[in-house]
Amino acid sequence: MSGTDSVSRPPDGAGAPGGPGLAQVRRLATPIPGPRSTELAKRRVNAVARGVGQTLPVYAAAAGGGVLVDVDGNSLIDFGAGIAVVNVGNSADAVVDNLTEQARHFTHTCFMVTPYEGYVAVCEELARLTPGSHDKRSALFNSGAEAVENAVKIARAYTGRPAIVAFTHAFHGRTNLTSALTAKARPYKEGFGPFAPEIYRVPMAYPYRWPGGAEACGEQAAGQVIDTITAEIGAENVAAMVIEPIQGEGGFIVPGAGFLPALTEFCAAAGIVFVADEVQTGFGRTGDMFACEHEGIVPDLIVTGKGIAGGLPLAGVTGRAQIMDAPQVGGLGGTFGGNPLACAAALGAIATLERENLVDRARLIERVALPRLRALRDRYPFVGDVRGRGAMLALELVGTGPPTPGQVAPPPDRGVAVACAAEAHRRGLVLLTAGTWGNVLRLLPPLVMPQHLLSEGLDLLDEVLSDIARHH
Ligand SMILES: *Cc1c(COP(=O)(O)O)cnc(C)c1O
């Protein structure tokens, strides 16, 4: 592995190892990407499948707090958090300590062969932290997609019904079943079918683009969803409604007021299992431990992943005991699901979230960033909408012409979003896009990001937009 050694370590002074001790500064030592990253990119082409995408071609050497240091010694401000994963940081002390301690004892036994305490403890934490005071059970998995699939299995086993309702702009993962639940064709679905049957798509309450206007959006969209289920699918055929309380990949769409409560009420009356996919919104991201709390709703099942374990692969399904216990013994599980290292990391991440009041930090990030993003909307005509909650905020970028016929909002402009992201990357800001049309810039800073980096990142975003405006 000598070839790897020569490129995978940051040069002297780059601040490795990672963690909160990493110098919290933006610093550009080379162009982005630098020579070592470019070297690795060449190796990658011949070793890694093309279908695995990448946002920016810099190779990580260390990360923590609010920065990501690459193998060329560039220190970038991180507005991505590994897609809403490292809410507590990339190398949080409690995560690292728990993980190394657990690794010294054992890395694996398989919970289905000989169980261990960490798994049970994570399930206890999920019962304590998720909305609702009812009796709960959990099962643990390796990825968000796998957990969503299992939520569907559990709902079908409980109800004995086949149909699943999913929403426009939804994202639930990349396995076959979850790509079927996902709305966007490219790159998630095209060429990968046929997909699982009995999945029905209904409209998300998308205030910015709702024909009846943002005010009426929640109520009108709920009415349409309920009517479609009742008249076209038959409520008695529906096992589960699966929804992100704020849509992630779909473009950080915050549903219109009243939408989610109307749906939970309908599902409860119709015996439909209401599944909240909080894989992206969970663990403090939106300024509540879970986004459902803001809506005052209590899902029957809640799916978690991403931010649960401080960067380790772990996911869960948590919900009402009678639903969760419906599948037969042996029907749920997996070789690695609830791996001891991932569970130890999760306990460290949850302790960190609570001890450092990171849920409040997400609210603080909103208080600082949202007014600045609104100012950008007022200044630049191609910023059509600003939305989100907590540390999950977005700008929807649009063309400056009139709305396309039948649309209330200007047409999406993917090109300008791509240009903004590329320009941000060149300046040392990790910035992700999202959206069904790829025209949304999304901000997902780690909740532990120091204030000065948050402000500097927002300054950079402003510079980028003003640059783009000049050439637009
Ligand atoms: C990322 C994501 C998933 C899929 O999680 P993976 O761990 O990538 O399989 C599912 N649902 C939502 C809302 C997500 O954001």
pLDDT for residue 17: 65
Q: Determine the angle formed by the axes of helices 340-355 and 93-105, rounding to 10 degrees.
A: 150
230's tokens: 């009742």
In the chain, the percentage of residues whose pLDDT exceeds 90 is 93
241's tokens: 């409604």
* Calpha distance 36→161 (Å, rounded): 54
Q: Is 144 in the pocket of ligand 1 (CB under 6 A)?
A: yes
3-state SS assignment for residue 295:
helix
* Calpha distance 138→122 (Å, rounded): 9
466's tokens: 């003003």
Q: Which atom of ligand 1 is nearest to the CA of 303?
A: 11
In the chain, the percentage of residues whose pLDDT exceeds 70 is 96
3-state SS assignment for residue 450:
coil
Statement: the pTM of the whole predicted model exceeds 0.75: yes
Residue 374 pLDDT > 50:
yes
Residue from 167, 172, 392 whose mutation best tests the ligand 1 pocket (most atoms within 8 A of CB):
172
- Decide which of 3.40.50.800, 3.40.50.2300, 3.10.150.10, 3.90.1150.10 is the CATH code for 3-91+358-471: 3.90.1150.10
* Calpha distance 277→281 (Å, rounded): 8
Under CATH, what is the fold of the domain 94-355? Aspartate Aminotransferase; domain 2 (3.40.640)
CATH 3.40.640.10 intervals, the chain? 94-355
Per-state percent for the chain, helix, strand, coil, to nearest 5: 40, 15, 45
Write down the H helix ranges in 405-450.
414-426
Q: Which atom of ligand 1 is nearest to the CA of 305?
A: 7
* Calpha distance 33→428 (Å, rounded): 10
Q: Is 173 in the pocket of ligand 1 (CB under 6 A)?
A: yes
3-state SS assignment for residue 214:
helix
pLDDT in tens, 264-315: 999 999 999 999 999 999 999 999 999 999 999 999 999 999 999 999 999 9
Tell me which amino acid residue 225 is: V
Protein residue closest via CA to atom 10 of ligand 1: 172
pLDDT in tens, 232-244: 999 999 999 999 9
Could you tell me the pLDDT band of residue 13, with boundaries at 50, 70 and 90? very low
* Calpha distance 217→42 (Å, rounded): 48
Q: How remote is the CA of residue 90 from the centroid of ligand 1, in Å?
A: 18
Q: Is 171 in the pocket of ligand 1 (CB under 6 A)?
A: yes
Q: How remote is the CA of residue 277 from the centroid of ligand 1, in Å?
A: 8
Q: Which atom of ligand 1 is nearest to the CA of 142?
A: 7
CATH 3.90.1150.10 intervals, the chain? 3-91+358-471
Taking all residues of the chain, what is their mean pLDDT, rounded to a whole number?
95
414 neighbors 439 (Cβ within 8 angstroms): yes
Give the full edge-to-edge strand order of the sheet including 440-443: 383-389, 392-397, 440-443, 432-434
pLDDT in tens, 55-76: 999 999 999 999 999 999 999 9
pLDDT in tens, 209-259: 999 999 999 999 999 999 999 999 999 999 999 999 999 999 999 999 999
pLDDT for residue 10: 44
pLDDT for residue 15: 42
Mean pLDDT of the 76-93 span = 98
pLDDT for residue 407: 78
On the 0-12 / 13-18 / 19+ scale of CB atoms within 10 A, 418 is middle
56 neighbors 425 (Cβ within 8 angstroms): yes
